[in-house]
Amino acid sequence: MLGRTYDQVCSVARTLEIVGERWTFLIIRDALLDVRRFDGFLSRLGIARNVLTDRLNRLVENGILERVAYQERPLRYEYHLTTKGRELAPVIITMMEWGDRHLADEAGPPRIAEHKDCAGHVVAQLACEECARPVPVGEVTTRPARAPLSGVAG
Amino acid sequence: MLGRTYDQVCSVARTLEIVGERWTFLIIRDALLDVRRFDGFLSRLGIARNVLTDRLNRLVENGILERVAYQERPLRYEYHLTTKGRELAPVIITMMEWGDRHLADEAGPPRIAEHKDCAGHVVAQLACEECARPVPVGEVTTRPARAPLSGVAG
DNA sequence: GCCGTTGGTCTGGTCAAGCAACCAATATGC
DNA sequence: GCATATTGGTTGCTTGACCAGACCAACGGC
């Protein structure tokens, strides 16, 4: 992120180095809503052109987006989410839910997640593979998975 | 975020305005690991002191952290997560999982989430309230929840 | 009275973000 | 053939965020 990195042995820090820059999450959010072209991102986000260029390039470099030609003469590309990129949807939906719960205005949530198959409401949750039940935030801890090499971060 | 805001009717954008700045997610990650003092964050993160001051103040203003005095003379505060702040844990765990899946090195994930009660492995997942089943990323859409006022964002 | 601890503030330089102008390849209208 | 529009950028300048390090302040211990 920002050229300098967080430089930590931590999957959260590593993830943020790729998607933690300003605008990046919103670009991915829009890509999940089927925005694909430079102009589309530009007009929806109100981002500076050079910054958008930079973010799209970085996302392509990191395998979140891929460039797909949609016409020759002039050669033009669309930016499509890869599988790796689409797998960021749970992160975004989880943020959306938190925002809905804590930052919504009177009108309620602007947008809701839905199950394609049955139109049911989709929620993000933590689940225990042992108990096979949803786990409330208060019941989660984390622990180091391997011998702590440097003792830093997690 | 950055003084200017994303200015969108979108819970993701609103959330990012509060926690989307550089370092903020890592501060919350550390707070979830029971780091509470200025020096603690400072030494674990390698963040500039003035930036840490700024981020802690913003998190307190936004009700993610609260200042709790732990001694008088000199008056010293710890920074504790509020409930609102602790509810960001699913966001961070979801990012951690994505990083584990896509960015881990040979040694595997540095840290894993665990259910306090049964020591089972905790995973983040999307679930349908209708089907009461986990929902794969490919089966989720979002739709506007109210009449689209401006037609922008979600 | 001096050092160490904790939690900052201040300063000055670097680098990212924002904005507007410009560029390039092509299609379209006349 | 020339002007104009469309799409997707690049360039250059300005502003402002981030960084490192110095400094400050309140106190405890010796």
Q: A with B: how many residue pairs have Cβ under 8 Å apart?
A: 290
- Phi-psi category of A36—alpha, beta or left, where left has phi over 0 and alpha has psi -120 to 50? alpha
Q: Which residues contact A106 (CB under 8 A, 6 or more apart)?
A: none
3-state secondary structure of A128: strand
Q: How far apart are the first and last CA of chain B?
A: 18
Chain B nearest-CA residue for A24 = B20
CB atoms within 10 A of CB A101: 13
Residue with the two structure tokens 């975004």:
A92
**Chain A within 8 Å of B141 (Cβ-Cβ)?**
yes
Phi and psi angles of residue A57, each rounded to the nearest 5 degrees, phi first: -60, -45
Q: What is the pLDDT of residues A66-114, one digit of tens each?
A: 999 998 878 899 999 999 999 999 999 999 999 999 998 878 888 999 9
Q: Which residues contact B83 (CB under 8 A, 6 or more apart)?
A: none
- pTM attached to this predicted model: 0.89
Question: Does residue B154 register a pLDDT over 70?
Answer: no
Question: Does residue A123 register a pLDDT over 70?
Answer: yes
In contact, A25 and A34? CB cutoff 8 Å: no
**Chain A within 8 Å of B10 (Cβ-Cβ)?**
yes
| Tokens of residue B21, six digits | 């700045």
CB contact under 8 A, B6 and A18: no
* DSSP state for residue A24 in the 8-state scheme: H
**In B, which residues are within 8 Å of A144 by CB distance?**
110-111
Q: What is the pLDDT of residues B3-39, one digit of tens each?
A: 346 778 899 999 999 999 999 999 999 999 999 999 9
**Chain A within 8 Å of B33 (Cβ-Cβ)?**
yes
More confident residue, A2 or B105: B105
At B80, which helix (H) or strand (E)?
strand B76-81
**In A, which residues are within 8 Å of B32 by CB distance?**
142
CB contact under 8 A, A113 and B141: yes
**In A, which residues are within 8 Å of B146 by CB distance?**
107-108, 110
Question: Does residue B2 register a pLDDT over 80?
Answer: no
Give the per-residue pLDDT at A151.
42
Q: What is the pLDDT of residues B31-83, one digit of tens each?
A: 999 999 999 999 999 999 999 999 999 999 999 999 999 888 788 899 999 99
